[in-house]
Structures are given as structure tokens and as C-alpha cells.
Amino acid sequence: GDSVTQMEGPVTLSEEAFLTINCTYTATGYPSLFWYVQYPGEGLQLLLKATKADDKGSNKGFEATYRKETTSFHLEKGSVQVSDSAVYFCALSDQDTDKLIFGTGTRLQVFP
Amino acid sequence: NAGVTQTPKFQVLKTGQSMTLQCAQDMNHNSMYWYRQDPGMGLRLIYYSASEGTTDKGEVPNGYNVSRLNKREFSLRLESAAPSQTSVYFCASWPRVYGLAHGRADTQYFGPGTRLTVL
């Protein structure tokens, strides 16, 4: 079945450092890909999305490119802030189902 | 427009007790979902409802029942709580219409969660 694999955390960075969180997927067909963010004590919020190969999703300085050849959707940010500290989830939705498949999440901790 | 609301926010139960988690959305979405979140496991789908009047099992349905009361409300019931059901429960809704390609770019909207402890 479809699955999403994320790098394990926590990822610990200093403010203004470069961030990469790896995400790879396995799916039949052509899924849409998402990154969600969960701040402490809150539900998940959509951060960015891409619906087809080579699409780049971006929001709040974060970017991720849908790479079909490597089945990847890595999250990047050029300069992280303390306020970016959260748990980040990669997810895919299959075109034929009503379900999202989530990765296990990666905790990001940014220190001043 | 409150989005997705969940009640209660916190709950402590004893083993064997029952309770119902409530979820409501005011966005006129067709699909609704219940997930549980456990450390190191990500979000796992318990049950979902693709449209009013239908419900289907997800990845971890055992020990739970659901009711799609109307388009707005989707409740999750634990008939006899067990310590293994200690978790954070999230409800979500999705505007997607079942089986239609235009729904691929939609996103799920999540509630704030219910933290449940079963002693």
C-alpha cells in the first residue's frame, strides 16, 4: 500500500540555519503531496502542497519540490526562526481514495 | 466560521468506562475523519466518513465506533476504554467529493485535538 517515510527527529538547529527534512513516498498512481505543521498543543495545519511532478509548493519561506524520479518531497527553509519549532508531517493523498497517508512526523527545535 | 471544533479538550477515564468524542465542522465539507496520534507513530486513521450517511474503517478501528449524525457532526465512541487507547485524537474534515479528481489539491482541516488518558 501507499506509504510515507520521513527522517527521524528531533532536528536541532540554531536560528538562521538551513533546514532540510527528508520525505520519500511509495504510491501507485499520481498522488498529491503535502507538508503539515503542528505547533505545540494544536492541531495540524497545511504548510504547503504540490499536485504533480516538478511542482514546487511554498509558504512562509518553506519550499518543497515534487520529484517523481526520486519519489521525494523534501522540505527546505533557508533561514529558520525559533517560531518554526514544531512537528512537521509529510503526507500524500491518492487520487482514487479519500484518505491521507501521513509520515511519522519530524520534530524541529530551533534555538536562539 | 469556527472551522473544526472538538469536545472535550481533555478527558481521563478508567478502564472499562465509555465516552463519546464530539466533532463538528461548519465549512459544509463532505468528508470527515478521526485520527489518533501517538509518539513515533504519526497520525493513524481510525474511521472516516466520505459523505453523510456513510462510514468506513481506517487503519486502527478496533475498540471504536463512529456516527455521522449529519453533514456537520462526526462522533467517535469508545465503548469500553482500555489503556492502549490513551492518545491524542484529532478530527478532520475535507471538502473533497468522493472519487472526483478535482479534490486532489484540497486539504484536510484539523480540529485542536482531544487528549485522552485511560487509567
Contact at 8 Å (CB) between A34 and A92?
A: yes
Min Cα distance A79 → chain B (Å) is: 26
CA distance B109 to B93: 5
Find the CB nearest A43 among B31, B94, B112. Answer: B112
> pLDDT (tens digit, 9 = 90+) per residue, B53-91?
899 999 899 999 999 989 999 999 999 999 999 999 999
Q: How much is the pLDDT for B101?
A: 46
Q: How much is the pLDDT for A96?
A: 65
C-alpha cell at B86: 490513551
Query: Cβ–Cβ of B43/A44 closer than 8 Å?
Result: yes
Over residues B98-113, mean pLDDT: 67
pLDDT higher than threshold 90 for residue B46:
yes
- Per the model's pLDDT, the better-predicted residue between A51 and A98 turns out to be A51
CA-based nearest residue to A25, from A66, A81, A64, A61: A66
- Residue A45 at interface with chain B, using a CB cutoff of 8 Å: yes
pLDDT higher than threshold 70 for residue B105:
no
Q: How much is the pLDDT for B30?
A: 87
- Residue B31 at interface with chain A, using a CB cutoff of 8 Å: yes
CA distance B31 to B48: 7
Q: How much is the pLDDT for A95?
A: 66
CA distance A48 to A57: 5
Query: 466533532: which residue's cell?
Result: B23
CA distance A99 to A10: 27
Quickly state the pLDDT bin for A62 (edges 50, 70, 90).
Answer: very high
Which of A25, A99, A106 has the most B C-beta neighbours within 10 Å, making it the best mutation to test the interface with B? Answer: A99
Min Cα distance A29 → chain B (Å) is: 12
